[in-house]
Structures are given as C-alpha cells and as structure tokens.
Structure 1
Amino acid sequence: MRLILATLLTLSAVLLQAQAYAQMPGSSGSNPFGIEQPDFLPVEEAYKLEVEPAGEGLRLYWQIADGYYLYQHAFKFQGEDHRGALPLRENLPEGLDRTDEFFGDVSVYYNSADITVDTERQRDGSLQLTVTSQGCADAGLCYPPRKQYFSWAPGAAEVTETTPPKRKPQVTAAPATATEGNGSSLAYMLLLAFLGGAILNLMPCVFPILSLKVLSFAQSSDHDRHLHSWIYTAGVVVSFVAVAAVLIALQQAGSAVGWGFQLQSPGFVIALAYLFLVMGLSLSGLVHLGGNLMNTGSALADRGGLSGSFFTGVLAVVVASPCTAPFMGTALGFAVTQPPLTGLTVFAALGLGMAAPLLLFSYSGAARKLMPRPGPWMETLKELLAFPLYAAAIWLLWVAGRQTGVNTMAAVLCGALLLTLGLWLWEKGGARRWLAAICAAGALGLASMDNLDPAGGAEKQLTDGRVAWSNEAIEQLRTSGTPVFVDVTADWCITCLANETAVLFTEDITAAFADHGVTYMVADWTNYDADIAEFIASHGRTGIPLYVMYPPAGAGQPFLLPQIVTADIVMEALEVVSGK
C-alpha cells in the first residue's frame, strides 16, 4: 500500500512539474517529460508596438499575435516634459468582453489595438512617454505588466524608443530667483511655511514651552485662554517678522547671512544656555520667577500675564531657530529672493503655523478634553519639563565649546554655577541680594571673556574619508571624474545632527560612498564663514542643512537632496552620480 501511494505521489509531482515548465515563456513544444505543450512567444513578439505622431498627440498601434490578447484596463500612459508631469488623455477603442481566469469579466483586444494619446496642455520641450500594458495567451500564459519608454522631440517626425530611465533621488528644487512671484507660487510657499511652523512645535527646545502654555489652560476661563493664545501668537509672529526684517536688511546690505545666524555668536549661545538653566530651576521649584506658569521662560513675564504670554512667544521663536522643519527651507529660500513685503508675508505665515496648535487648544473643546483634570499631576509635570530644558542648556554649552574651545565651556559652567548661587541667594532676600547681584555679574563676566574668540574653537573631526569643503576642491575632484557630495552642517543645527546620526554617518552609508567612489565633503558653518554663506545662497537656500550632490564634470548638473534624508534617498543619489 505504501509503495502504491508513493508511486501516485511521484507521478503527480512529475505532471505538476511538466505543467509548470510548459507555462514558462519560451518553453519548447516538447518538454523533457514527453508532454506536448504550446510554444509561447516572447512578450516583444507577441505584442509589437509602433508609436507615431498624430497631430498634437501620438498614435500607439499594437500588432497582437494570433491566440494572444491585451487587457483594456491594464493600459497606463504617463507623460513628462521639462515642467514635470504632463497630463494625458487617451482614446481607447471598444474591446471584446471576456470572462478571464485571472481578472474576471474584462475587455480585451485581439489582433490589434489602436490607441491615440493627446496632451492636456502645451508641452514644453521633449515628451517623455511611459506606456504600460499587459496581455495573456489563450493557452493559459499571462505575462507580467510591461513598461516601454519613448521620447518625442518638438517637431520630430518620429518617436524614439528609449531605455528605462534611472530612478532619480528625491530632490529639493531651488526656489525661483525672479523678483516677483506669481499668486499660485506665493500661496504654495505660504502653505509650506505654515506647515513648517506647525512642525517646529515638536522640536525638543520648543515643545516644553508649548507644553507649559497648554498646561495653563487646564485652569483658565474661555476668555483668558483666547486672549492669552492670541497674545502668544502675536509674540511669535512679531518675532519671526523681526528676525526676517533683520535677515533681509543684512542681505540687501551685502552681508551673506542665513537663517539661524544668531547662533553663530558664542555670546548669544551662552546667553540662551543661561536662560534655559534659569527656566529649568524655576520649573524645579528652586527659584520663583513668577506665580503664573505662563510667565516661566522670561523675566519680562513679571510685568503681568499678557506680557508673559507675548514674551513666551518671543522665546519660542528664539529657541526654534536651530531647527529646520520639513517644507521650511524651500519657503525661507523663496522669501529672501522676493521683494521685502512678500518675504515678510512668508515669515508671518511661518509664525502663524507655529502658533496654530496653541490656538487650536484654546478654541477646541475636543482638544482640551484630551487634557486631564487639574490636580497634583500638574506640579509633577511642571517639574518633569525642567529636564528637557536642562538638556537643552547642556547642548548649547557643547555648541559653545565647539565654537570656541573647551576653556570656554569650563568658564561658562563656572558662570552657570555662579548664576545658580546668585538665584538661591536672591530667594533668601535682604542683604544677600547684594551677593546675588555680584554672582550674576561674575556669570556675565565669565560669559564675555576673551576666550570667546571663535578662532579658538575645535576643528570638526573629519574621519572615514570625509574632507573639508572648498569650492576649489569641488572643481578639482569633478574635473578628475570624481563625484562629490557636500554636507553643509553646524553643531547648533538639530536637523543636521539627526540626519548625520541616523543616516549619513552610519556604517552602511559610509561604505556606500566608498563603493560608489563619491567624495564626502563637509562644510562646517558652526561659526560664521562668508564663503559658506555665499555657497548656501548660490543654491537658493537661507539655512541648513544643505545637501548638494555633484556629478563629475560634464556628466550633469548638481542637484539638492531634501533637508531630511533617508538611506534610500542617499543611495539613489549615489547611483545617479556614479552610474552604478
């Protein structure tokens, strides 16, 4: 019995293998098992396509071999010209109804398929056409979808079949340099700025400030919530517009400066670190700068609740400057290439986007219902939020050390100690406040010592084949046939550090640069450098991160990568410039 069962199983396996072999494209009519099967045609012989101009459009004519058919629903036509995607309108002839074993009730074409394709707008330059089709044979073989590529130059009498194009990486187009933007592009940039501003609330320096504002809503009336949210919004918008006005004025005066330029000043970085330290001490309950939570973050808040809301908005903008959210770079680049009024409008949209979440909590009862009832948890959360501020202060001290050297970092840490001592003495009151003032003066003195000279800063360590940036080095490498990747970064740029840690400096990507023969070049903008500022401006940007991929000389134009990169984006860019 076991022998009979084994024999039947063996015969079944042989028959199944023979049937599978027969359904392979190009299999012979007689297979090794002696079972006669049809001889299927290669896909290019079963379906022969000819494409020719037809007026302002194209005619696509398929000659279909006997016993084969094409699916009507599988046809897809994609067009592209110099301006990007080109909408197409196809005219499909009526097909034959068929109940198909693969797709059910469908319409198909036998013998031939004659289709015309028209463009829905005037094309700009050559038309790049991608045609997708799929067919089967009556004998049971179904081919996978097939893509074919064609190019039609303006005025040409023939359409040329081309090879599949290389996948291009996601790139960020440089903003227009025209002096006047049209209405649609301005609206688009305003939207990008608004979205970028909204995302800034998630940045580690900004989120604690927003959290405190939302926390205060748990025990406020509707009138107070609405009023304070709009005052906060005013502080955010006014601050963004003020920074923009300074930036535009400096650029029009001939200075090459960009977004986040204030963080290139070690004194400003240290002052911000001191401010975060004081805020953290206040949240921890060690010092008391004001009774209202909304006043935390600025001594100016002592003037009253509304003043506190306004200057908290100012502070949020100050600490957001190291962060570049998605969509933000393109909008800022557009803003500084436009007339001042247009540029300021884009920055105002950025401020509105940043203030929008707080306004939502102010007016939305559903959003506020997500907040728990007031109670002891509020004090615990307030104390917990001090630790992100301490972390931000540590990071800023590290930036100051990178800018000016380890001696500065040690001096500023001593200043932070004196500042903390002074705040503690101030709380004691009386004559001790004179000592507190002396401590504060000492802290300021340590923060303004001669060792704040940026020339004393530590050089960024360039390892794993990375080289320092210079325009001359780029030209030399490209002329010798070497592609170049330029990474414009800074220690105070949070997005830069995140990209480097998660993607650019990983072992796999470092190995990929070496395998593709691409030189990794670093332009460190931690301290101000006019040459780097001009390089950034030449690519239509105002801030960083900036990633530029240069093919070898004569092999194409350089292109920008997004400000937030992934491993796939970088790998695609490497493949494009290396030809691998």
Structure 2
Amino acid sequence: MNKITLYILLTSLIFASLFSTRLLALEPDELLDVDIAFVAEIVEVNTEDIKLRFKVADEYYLYKHAFSFANKDNVVKFGTAQIPDGEKKVDEFFGEVETYRHQVDIVIPYENIAGVASTKFEFTYQGCADAGICYPPQTKILTLNLPVPQDSVLHAANPLVGNTAIKGGLGLTNSDEWSGQLDTVLPEDKAFLFETIAMDANTLSARFSISDNVYLYKDQVKLTSLTKGIDIGALHFPASVIKDDPHFGEVEVFFGVIEVGVDISREAGSTNTLILQAEFLGCIDEGICYPPSIRTISVDLPAITTAISANKQTDKTKIDKTMQLSEQDQIQVDLEVNAWWKTILKFFGFGLLLALTPCVFPMIPILSGLIMGQGNISRRRAFTLSLIYVLAMAMAYTIAGVIAGLLGANIQAALQKPWIIITFSMVFVALAMSMFGYYELQLPSSWQNKLSKLSNKQKSGSYIGVGIMGFVSAIIVGPCVAPPLAGAVLYISNTGDPIVGGFALFAMSMGMGVPLLLIGASAGKWMPSSGGWMNVVKAFFGIALLAMAIWFLARIIPGPVSLAMYGILALLSSIFWYRYALKNGVKGKMTILFLVFKIILISIGTVQIIGAIKGNSDPLNPLTVRQKMQFQMVKSYAEVQQVIQQSDKLVLLDFYADWCIECTRMEESTYAQASVQKELENFLVLKADVTAQDAVDKELMRKFKIIGPPATLFFGTDNQLIKHSSFFGFKGPDEFIEHLRQIK
C-alpha cells in the first residue's frame, strides 16, 4: 500500500525537481525583451547637436564600442559622437571593454547639409545581462525633427508641389512678393507644437498647439507606439470644424489648442517609458500646406495601478464598463467592482460548471488509482487523500494563473513538451503494472526507514505523495482556458494585484474539485475488502491508468495512431481482465458478467482499430467520418496582420494546440458540424497552431493577450478586433452558431 505511494512520492519529487530547474534556469526567452532592457530616446535637438539617451534596466549593461550612428538619407552629416567614459571591465566575450549601466547620454554633433525639417536617424547598440547572456546588435531608426533655416522649411504638400505651386497658392507672381510673403510664414516646428502626458496608467493626453491662421486635418492625425509591449488604442478627439478645403473638399479640421485623449494597452512587464510617434498634416489659411510632420517623443507612464479608486466605482462606471464586453472581460470587471465574498462565491460556481468538462475528467482515474493503491482504507482516509489532492490541484492552478497574469508566462503551456508528456505517461504505465501485481514499487530499505521515522509510519508520506501528484498532474493534465480563468488572469495582468485574482482562481479550482471530493467521500462504500475482489478492481484501475497514458501521448502522436493504441488496449484488456477475474476467485453468475465485459471490450477494440485504419482519431466515435473545417493556417503576428488587412470579410482567428483538450473538443464537435461550416461561409477562417510554443507563437499570443488556447478572436470588415465577441474556451455547435449570428 505505502510502497506504491512512496514510489509516487519519489517520481513526483524527481519530476518537481526537473520542473523547478526548468523555471529557475535562465533561458533567452525569459530575459527582458531587448526594448525593455534598453530604452533609447532623443531628448534634445538643437541646430548643432543631438542628445540621445539610453535607459538601461537593472542587471543589464551596454557596450561603448558597439555604438554607431548614421543617416541613410545622406542629408545630415554626423561628427564624432561625444560618449562619456564607461565602467571598465574584462568581458568574457570582448576582453577589456567600457560599459554603461542605468543611463548614458550621448551627444552627436551634426550638420544639416540639405536644410531638411526631418530625417531618419539610424543608430546601433549592443548590451548584455549580468546572467551572462548577450543580445545581438540592435539597429533602430527614429525620426529626427530638426530646426532648419526658415527659407528651407516649406515644400508644398499635395497638391501644391515646388515653389511655383506655392506662389500660385498665394497668388504671387514675382520673386519679391514671394520673398516678402515667405518671411511671414512660421516654420513647421513653430506652427504645430506637440506634447503628451500620461493621465493614468492606460490613458494619455496629446496636446496640439496650432498657430493662428493655421489648421490641422483630423483624419491625418496618427499616433504610433514604437515601444514593444505598449499599443495605441482609440483616439478621442474634441469637436472639430467643417472646412471647405481647396485641396480636399469638406473636411474636419482643428484650430487653436486641442486635447486628444489616447487609450493605450500595456502588456504585463512592459516598460514605463513609451516612445510615441505622431504623424499629422496641416495648412495655412492662405492655401499653403506644410509637408507631413513626424514627431517622436518620450512619455513617462505611471505603474499599472493595483486598484480602482473609490471615486471611480460609481454605478455609472459599472454600467459603462459592462457595455460591449466579452465574457472574460465582464468577469474581469466583476473582479474590480464586486465585494470579495461575492467574487469568491461566483468563482466557486464557475468551478462547479467547469467540473463537468473534460478539463477535470482525466483527474478522476488518477485520483481513483491513487486511492486504490492504498489498499483497504477507511472512508475518512480516502476523503482526506482526495481533499489533499484537490487542495494541491487548486494551489497549482492558482500559482500558474498568478504567474501568467504577472509575467505573461503560461506554465501549463510551457510544460507541454514531448519529453515531459512521455515521462508522465511512463509514470502511469509503471503505476498500472503495479496495479496488475507484476511488481511492487518501493524505495531502498534504508530510504524507507528514514522516511518512516519522518512521516509517522509513512502515513504523512502518503499524503505528501498524493499532494505532489495532485499539484503536478494539474499542471500537466489540464491546460484548459475558460472565460473565468482568462478573466482572472487578465485582471491580475491589468491591475498587478495577485491577491483578489489569486483567491478567485483558488475558489474556482476548489469548485472544480467537488467531484473528486465526492469520490473520496464515497470510497468506503464501493471499495472491496482485501482479497480477490480487491485485485480485480485494482486491475480495472490499472487498465484505466494505461488509457490515461495513451491519452497523454495522443497530444504528441498522430490521431489514428492513438486510436489504434486504444483499440489494442481494449482487445488485450478483454482477454487479460477476464482471465484475471477467474484467477482471483470470480465464480458462478459473476463469470457471465465478466464474459459480457470481454465481448464489449473486444467489440470496442475492433471498431477502434478499423477506425484507425480509415484514418479517424476519435476513440468515442471511431467510425464517424467528419468533414473537417478548412482553416487558413497562420503563424506570426505579422502574417496575421497582413492577412486581415487584405480581407474584406469578417475574420475568425482560432488559437489551437495539440495538447489543449478543449481545442480538440472544439475541432471535433463544433467546427466539424456542417451547420457551423455553413454559418462560417462568409468568414475568412484562420487558425494559429501554437502547439510548439516557440518564440513566434509566444509573440503572437502576447500581442493578442491570449492566456492560452482555445481562444477565438473576431475581426470586423474594418480590420479591427471585435473585442466583445472574442472569447476563450469551448462553445458547442448551437451556442457557437448563435454567437456567429450576433456578430453578423
């Protein structure tokens, strides 16, 4: 009894050790993003010098010798950069070098040989982390706005091109009149002043100060983030003026000083410094248009707040925030505005609903096998083991969710590696063989004696083993993402508050564990006493554990192969279990019952093998041939953006992974339905397979704030994300069709 549990304990400890090593090892993709480790910004430009500032994160440094500066347009000539002395060190890569930490300001002398108002400033740098990993050299291009001589500022924009066009626009014919008029025209950098401040962690205020007799086109204002991890959202303009423009007809324009509200979204762990690029176009009332303007500025952002201030928690705020929200966003809002006890109860209810999904089903044979491995135990002890298993499972889900929210790292997805899945499958095979009585799993006697002293005759050792198994199996078995889980993780990510989100996740996990607790509470009734019947029941759970091993392997092997393995297991089990029952004293009418079981297993196994030969993969419907949904596969964020921009249809983007239980369920029971496929005829249907979890997959998921698959995003004909219609988790055919019709 205890020997099996000790084996579980040893195996789980070894696995947990590997798991911890994986988390603690510093991998390249666990470093700060290069644009967060090193932030470059132009802080000052005068007629002679450019001042470039690098902000360097703690435990990172820049090399002096790696700096270089260039102007590819060849309109600006750079002098020798004035770089301060750095900290000298003997570097393992470059020998004796000078380095910079925290901040370094570099002054670059220049000559504006072409008299331009702006140009592209290209510079290169390289840095490393103290941990010993270096980034490759980085080359950045920023727009450089230069103070220029007044007589070289104006070059007419479309449709006025060149001096002749400008003269015509002013109604001037001779050079004297032209020169006199030009003297009264302000340079572009004086005609439009642009500045931006942060109002809060997710909102900016962009101010345009427009000179007299000058106006700004509303539809020509564009703001772009040059900082990775920070995206520009909606722009909120003040009231505009309708102007009959000589170039564009009736257009919306602004005069004087305007304030534009700017929504921004920030990824977890992103920098608090935003490099913002503004593009805009304006004209003078007399008919002259300035060239398109590009300004680049640095904006300091406050840290993401951990709570909503009391004055914002009004009823109106609650109503406004719940309009047009997706299910997971609605849950996130509830976390922000509801009392903590309501949140706990609601998430416990979510957990009860999730307990009826395939995310929890695999836990049942695992826990049952662990209880059976203890032999003839009391109902109280069985319930205690179940409670420990569920508590460990809840802790695993909570820790994984909090880490995903704070760091943007999905631990469950990271552990879906082939070698991890194979290892865990082999653990179940070993446990199954011990259930069949082929051997007893035990530690060396010296280890047993020591553990016995520490664990009060191994009773607490059993609890520890079951607890570790609950923790590890929760992480490996069920990487399911449902709206409640996504909502809690998004709340943690956006607020930086792991307390409320963590308790919500824990309550949800305990709700998911209710069926497992019921198994423990009733174990005393259905578990036979020791002897022949106990061996027969243990053999049944041994077969179930072998099926679990195949279920794990199905994530990394072709579907028909896994179906064939299920079929072979059923055929072998039909013979083995029948003979095993007879060998252990099954007699009389009970023999007929086991003969019926044998026939059923032979039938199931035969049908599954036939289905595998036909190329099918569903063990529950092995002969059913489904018409698979035809997806257009996409990989990178850039590819997704390109495809969406080129489409004039509504777009569906499905995030899928082989190891995702609910993804497979969505594929086989929803997308495979003819009615669903007909409803999607007017959609461009894309699929991102993130099984590999490589750098490209992680970048794609990070851009769209995907906690983990399954996730379904929708984009409108304007190519914009329809956030309130996008969702995490599974939807059945009827529910999904209704959802699609609401989008249309």
Q: Normalization by structure 2: what TM-score? A: 0.39
More strand by share: 2
